[in-house]
């Protein structure tokens, strides 16, 4: 029997760039880089319902996030700190980053 494929998608509301948090990011120095990084994190967290962990076991470090998103390490550090302050992500006690809005932004279906 063939394996059933599951497809995921990220739904951005038409007012995504009108949200106060996104406007704050966009107007910061390197803000557009922070938004792109945030979108990459959202996409990376789709299959794990918002949690960012390497192979679902190890919380990503800034260096790991830099490598997997092809983002400068200094940008990663500032962006993560800023995203936490803006309430877009949380950092749990074990170091796991959690994308707060992901539950309202994902969908999935099988090929059936």
Q: What are 35-56's pLDDT values in tens digits?
A: 999 999 998 888 888 889 998 8
**Which pLDDT belongs to residue 50?**
86
Mean pLDDT of 59-85: 95
For tokens 């038409």, the residue is 14
- pLDDT of 6 > 80? The answer is no
pLDDT of 85 reads: 96
The first and second tokens of residue 62, run together, are 């800034």
Distances (CA, A) of 72 to 20, 30, 40, 50: 25, 11, 13, 22
Q: Are strands 58-59 and 51-54 parallel, antiparallel or unpaired?
A: antiparallel
pLDDT of residue 87: 95
pLDDT of residue 26: 94
pLDDT of residue 16: 87
H or E segment and range at residue 79: helix 73-85
Considering the chain, what is the average pLDDT of its residues? 87
> At a CB cut-off of 8 Å and minimum separation 6, what does 51 contact?
45, 96, 97, 98
Question: What integer pLDDT is reported at residue 110 of this predicted model?
Answer: 59
pTM of the model: 0.85
């Amino acid at each position: 029997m063939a394996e059933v494929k599951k497809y995921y998608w990220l739904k951005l509301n038409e007012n995504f760039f009108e949200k106060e948090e996104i406007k704050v990011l966009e107007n910061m120095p390197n803000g557009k880089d922070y938004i792109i990084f945030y979108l990459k994190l959202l996409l990376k967290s789709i299959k794990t319902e918002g949690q960012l962990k390497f192979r679902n076991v190890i919380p990503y470090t800034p260096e790991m996030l830099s490598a997997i998103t092809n983002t400068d390490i200094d940008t990663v550090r500032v962006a993560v700190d800023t995203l936490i302050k803006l309430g877009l992500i949380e950092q749990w006690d074990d170091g796991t980053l959690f994308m707060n809005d992901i539950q309202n932004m994902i969908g999935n279906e099988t090929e059936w």
